[in-house]
Copies of this chain bind each other. A is one copy, B any other.
Amino acid sequence: MTETENDLVLSRTYDAPRAAIWRCWTEPELLMQWFCPKPWFVSEARMDLRSGGEFFTRMNGPDGESFGNAGVFLEIVPGEKLVFTDAFTPGWRPSGRPFMCAEVVLKDAPGGKTDYLARAMHWSAEAKQEHEAMGFHDGWGKAGEQLEALAQSL
C-alpha cells in the first residue's frame, strides 16, 4: 500500500461478500441507496463502466442543497478495483478543478467477508485538507456502513 501525504484512506473489513459489495458500487440503483450518509441522498447516478466513461452523481441535502459531481472512470477490474476522478469529463475533457482521484480495492477476507480499501488521492495538500474538513473520515465511514448493510441484504 502506497501511502502519501495527500491521500485520505478508509480501510475496513465488511461482513458481506465481495461480489455483493461490487454490485453496490457499480449498479446505479444500488449506489444511490448508500453513497451519501443519510439524511443526504443521491437523486441521480450515471455510470458508464469503462475507462473514460462517465461517473456522475447528484447529492442532495435535507435543506435543499444539491451538488452535481461529474467525473470519469479511469480503471475497472471487475470485482476487484475501481478508479475514478473528477479531473475529466467524458471525452477526456479537463474539468475546471482537479480535486481527487479515488480508488476502491476489494479483497476476499476469511469468513465470507471483504477487505475494503477506499483511497482518495488529492492534487494538493489544500485539497486534502478541504476534503478532511468536509468530513471525509466520518462521511466515507458512514456511507461505508450503509454499503455494508445494503450488500448484506442482497
Chain B residues with CB under 8 Å of A51's CB are 51, 74-75
When A93-B4, A94-B122, A94-B123 are in contact, do A74 and B52 touch as well, CB less than 8 Å? yes
Q: Are A74 and B94 interface neighbours, CB within 8 A? A: no
Q: Are B92 and A75 interface neighbours, CB within 8 A? A: yes
Asked if A148 lies at the interface with its beta carbon under 8 angstroms from chain B, I say no
Q: Are A92 and B98 interface neighbours, CB within 8 A? A: no
Asked if A87 lies at the interface with its beta carbon under 8 angstroms from chain B, I say yes
Chain B residues with CB under 8 Å of A74's CB are 51-52, 74, 92
Asked if A83 lies at the interface with its beta carbon under 8 angstroms from chain B, I say yes
Chain B residues with CB under 8 Å of A83's CB are 92
Kindly supply a per-residue 1/0 record for chain A positions 52-75, scoring 1 wherever the CB is within 8 Å of any chain B CB and 0 otherwise: 100000000000000000000011
Pick 18 A–B contacts, CB within 8 A, sort by A. Answer: A2-B91, A2-B93, A4-B93, A51-B51, A51-B74, A52-B75, A83-B92, A85-B92, A87-B123, A92-B101, A92-B121, A93-B101, A94-B98, A94-B100, A94-B101, A94-B122, A96-B123, A98-B98
Show the binding face of A for B, using Cβ within 8 Å: 2, 4, 6, 51-52, 74-75, 83, 85, 87-88, 91-98, 100-101, 103, 121-123
